[in-house]
Amino acid sequence: MIWYLALVLLTGAERIVELVVSKRNAAAAFARGGVEYGQRHFPWMVALHTGFLLACIAEVFLLDRPFLPWLGWPMLVVALACQAGRYWCIASLGAQWNTRVIVVPGAGAVKAKGPYRFAWLPHPNYLIVAVEGIALPLVHTAWITAIVFTVLNAVLLLRFRIPTENEALRSL
């Protein structure tokens, strides 16, 4: 169980690094006249993602969830692949990547790089987050966390976030 705690804590540390990069990119975007959309949902997104990591740990330790190799190892591979996917998205968007929805007039949308070149998948990062929301808890059989996060992410968050991003992108 300790290795799972380390995995989740490392994932949390990675999210903190993302927030630092995001803050830097946001400052640069605002300096270039960037406009933020959907500020009201951002604290809820932070709370959901923080709660997700805490719930992964709590469910495993408090409910004594077992590590089932036939489930855990494949889910670990998927969770690690999700991290690679997140970095692919971040690298593809470069200075335009942000955890917030900020549009810089004249910057244009990234459509020809990385996973954003696939027209059938306009928001690849959200697919990656959804898959990770299932995989990371299931590494150590935290199935309640996987279900609750998936439902809350889809129903409460993405229902607002994706339309907000689409509106922001249309403004370009």
pLDDT in tens, 28-77: 999 999 999 988 888 999 999 999 999 999 999 999 999 999 999 999 99
Distances (CA, A) of 22 to 19, 76, 99: 5, 26, 6
Mean pLDDT for all residues in the chain: 92
What's the pLDDT score for residue 123?
86
136: pLDDT strictly greater than 90? yes
| Cβ pair 132, 18 in contact under 8 A | no
pLDDT band at 106 (very low <50, low <70, confident <90, very high): confident
Select 2-170's CATH number: 3.40.50.150, 1.20.120.1630, 2.40.30.30, 1.10.4190.10: 1.20.120.1630
Phi-psi region of 37 (alpha: psi -120 to 50; beta: other; left: phi over 0): beta
pLDDT band at 27 (very low <50, low <70, confident <90, very high): very high
pLDDT band at 113 (very low <50, low <70, confident <90, very high): confident
Cα separation, 46 vs 3, whole angstroms = 25
Instruction: Please compute the mean of the pLDDT values over residues 96-125 and round it to a whole number.
Output: 85
Instruction: Please compute the mean of the pLDDT values over residues 111-126 and round it to a whole number.
Output: 84
What's the pLDDT score for residue 107?
81
